[in-house]
Amino acid sequence: MLASEDPAFLPACRQAELFASGALTPLDVVEAQLARIDRHEPKLQAFTEVYAEDARKAAAAATDAIRRGWRIGPLHGVTIALKDLVEIEARETKGGTAANAGRKSTYTATLARRALAAGMIVIGKTHTVEFAMGGWGTNTRLGTPWNPWDAETKRAPGGSSSGSGVAVAAGLATTAIGTDTGGSVRLPAAWCGHVGLKTSLGRISVHGVLPLAESLDSPGPMTRSVEDASLVYAALAGADPADPLTARPAYVDPGPGLKRGLAGMRIGAMPERDRAGVDPEMLAAYDAALDVLAKAGAAVAPIDLPSRIADMAEPLGHIIYAEGYAHYSRLIDDPAAPVDPDVRPRLAMGARTTSRDYILAKRAQQGVIRAFHEAIAGVDAFLTPTTAVPAPVVAEIDQTKTPAVFTRMVNMAEMCALAVPTGFSSGGLPLSAQFVAAYGNEAAALRAGWAYEQARGFDVGVPEGFK
């Protein structure tokens, strides 16, 4: 089933065209998505809370405003789901932990305020791994969302932005926000079969976003098309006095160059050594993507990275554990606290990290940043698989391991990356690759991703078991 057949699955850029022409209204889309939530949410468990009546009121207001010619911009009337780390005044924000049940926000996060200022409609809050600490997407206490691409067997949705990934894939929201500390936007985007943008550190304010590791956390959009990711990124990015990291080099709007195509672009292919351990179908889709890029006009050639991509996973993990433990030690150290048994041992590792260990790890990270940026100076972006394997069965997951084999490298080296679908496995599970670009060069990753999307003619589609 093609996405174009159902308004709940239309990408935001197409909705904007139809809203402008009067062929579709924001209220039509909200009602379609709320109907799908009513029908499928009991099984999918994407949301912690759905703001149905508020969404209907906002959609009615957007419909009337657009009809009267008072359209704010391309995202006016488009729905967005927010990960349950994002503060919204007077709403519950738990951060994925049962210990925060009933906790009400006293203010609204900057990114949420910017989404509302763009005319977007917040349709609800989505599930996350507890404290955003995990790549599989599981949450034993508050619920693990169901990956919609397998209606019979519960597979990993990807984490930690699990509910956001499922909401977009299943047509419960047009767009969503995740946060990415080691892959938590890209992993669910990959396993749920859509687009996810890991933004450069400081590009989108984290003011009002519950932290995991403040030196790494990067909010980013999860969408059905690359153009949608560009639009949401443009709406949310920019300096914020409440977040000092946003004072780094000025944000550049990717919109003007998004559709320039691949002519003149240099795309790197990952070293041969990094192909080890990757699922054959994932590799075949990756190689096919490189071929599509070359035929569409990009100059594609292997690049030499300073280390194996997988080698970045462990050192980044130690930084995450240390910073995460600093925030949540009160709960981690309390055996009576209702902490997810899969998450507790991860953050407990932070208790064993001395200040010396942490400082040395951060110094080592600076060397990684320099080395990787020097290595990719000759390309606009380079391509890797987003995950090594398609979504695994939840019951078979080894929680002592991480699926962030390819994604953590991006965070460790302070780069940005765009995950895009590359097709499906023989078992009907989504496959994905990520365009990785230098710090602050989201425009290059988005431009390459948009051109690939157009050249391949990919329609994200509708999961068969959740029509």
Active site residues: 83, 160, 184
Is the sign of the CA dihedral 184, 187, 189, 192 positive or negative? negative
How far is residue 124's CA from residue 143's CA, in Å, rounded to a whole number?
16
CA-CA distances (angstroms) from residue 38 to 90, 150, 172, 336, 339? 24, 19, 10, 35, 29
Written as one letter, the residue type at 349 is M
Measuring CA to CA, which residue among 350, 399, 328, 347 is closest to residue 99?
328
The DSSP element (H or E) to which 442 belongs, if any, is helix 442-456
Which residues pair with residue 349 across a beta bridge?
none
How far is residue 371's CA from residue 376's CA, in Å, rounded to a whole number?
9
The DSSP element (H or E) to which 288 belongs, if any, is helix 280-295
CA-based angle 79:466:174, to the nearest 5? 15
The residues near 408 (Cβ < 8 Å, ≥ 6 apart) are 182, 183, 312, 313, 316, 317, 402
Question: In this structure, what token pair is assigned to residue 97?
Answer: 């932990």
Which residues pair with residue 81 across a beta bridge?
124, 176
Is the sign of the CA dihedral 92, 97, 100, 105 positive or negative? negative
